[in-house]
Amino acid sequence: MDKRIKVVVVGGGYAGVMAANRVTQRDDVAVTVINPRQAFVPRLRLHQLVGGTHDAVVDYREVLAEGVELVVGTAARIDATARTVTLAEGGSIDYDYLIYAVGSFSRGPQVPGAAEFAYPVATLEAAQRLRSVLSDTPVPAPVTVVGGGPVGIETAAELAEQGRGVGLVCGGVLGPNLHPSARRAARKYLTRLGVEVIDGPDTSVTAVRSGAVELGDGRTLPSQVTIWAAGFGVPDLADPEAVFAPSSTTANSARTSS
Ligand SMILES: Cc1cc2nc3c(=O)[nH]c(=O)nc-3n(C[C@H](O)[C@H](O)[C@H](O)COP(=O)(O)OP(=O)(O)OC[C@H]3O[C@@H](n4cnc5c(N)ncnc54)[C@H](O)[C@@H]3O)c2cc1C
């Protein structure tokens, strides 16, 4: 019987991989990473996937240390008392220590028409879908990126580099978390690329329609493709409501080795 300490890492993104690789350096520890996808997704490449310059997928064998086990699955419940993680696909995995590294997701467009006509960018599947839409969209067609934070800035820049006409709707200040000098540099860089930065009071998007976005200041901007890069949320897996004590059966149906 394996007497090593069992460490389970929920989430195989940057944080989960770094933690797993660090912990596995101890001889007395067995590390398992649970992640829904078979491959590592370097999320900070997703805007490049949208622009067609990166596929944003890396084999876990390139990033996970030898000996770390990968379970392809989604943690649906954490039972902190029984120390088990229940998988959405069925079965559960026991642990002595759990590392919680589930990252974030796009909270989704909240304004009328956005769920229907705007494309999020924050997950692999969303970025792939958007890439496909852009492939079918003529380069001169107007593209609007909603969200003046880092993801919006990077996405707008990437698409402008492809020669697209991009408007970046900030809903307020461009790069609200940037130092003023970094904000000036970002604006200069975006302007040089041809991005129209639409910032200031009342520049929040109030509605998205087929072929247009509406702003709080009354303007309507033509937009053949509208990209939603505003608003991130966190999974509620660790919410007290979600952490409960189910009866657990141990099964590792989706188990693969890294
Ligand atoms: C388009 C874009 C561009 C970005 N550019 C930059 C940049 O230039 N620089 C920068 O520093 N940051 C950038 N970021 C932010 C950066 O990607 C995140 O800060 C980073 O990914 C966070 O790492 P993480 O490991 O915490 O989470 P993630 O990378 O999101 O990894 C979380 C992992 O947990 C998995 N997971 C979620 N729920 C479960 C569950 N229930 N069970 C099992 N697994 C689960 C997910 O599938 C994922 O694999 C960008 C983000 C986006 C979307």
Ligand 1 atom at shortest distance from the alpha carbon of 13: 31
Q: For position 241, what pLDDT does the model report?
A: 60
Q: For position 2, what pLDDT does the model report?
A: 84
Pocket test for ligand 1, best of 8, 18, 44 (most atoms within 8 A of CB): 44
Q: How many CA atoms lie within 13 A of 191 on its CB side?
A: 10
Instruction: Report the amino acid identity of residue 47.
Output: H
How far apart (Å, rounded) are the C-alpha atoms in residues 242 and 258?
A: 29
Query: Which DSSP helix (H) or strand (E) runs through 114?
Result: helix 114-117
**Can you give the pTM of this predicted structure?**
0.87
Domains in the chain (CATH in brackets) are 5-104+234-255 (3.50.50.60), 108-231 (3.50.50.60)
Q: For position 1, what pLDDT does the model report?
A: 79
SS3 of residue 86 by DSSP: strand
Q: How many CA atoms lie within 13 A of 159 on its CB side?
A: 33
How far apart (Å, rounded) are the C-alpha atoms in residues 188 and 85?
A: 48
Q: For position 257, what pLDDT does the model report?
A: 38
Confidence of residue 243 (pLDDT cuts 50, 70, 90): low
Give the pLDDT confidence of 161-183 residue by residue, as tens digits.
999 999 999 999 999 999 999 99
Ligand 1 atom at shortest distance from the alpha carbon of 43: 17
Among all chains, which residue has been given the structure tokens 């200041």?
217
**Widest CA span in the chain:** 69
Q: For position 253, what pLDDT does the model report?
A: 32
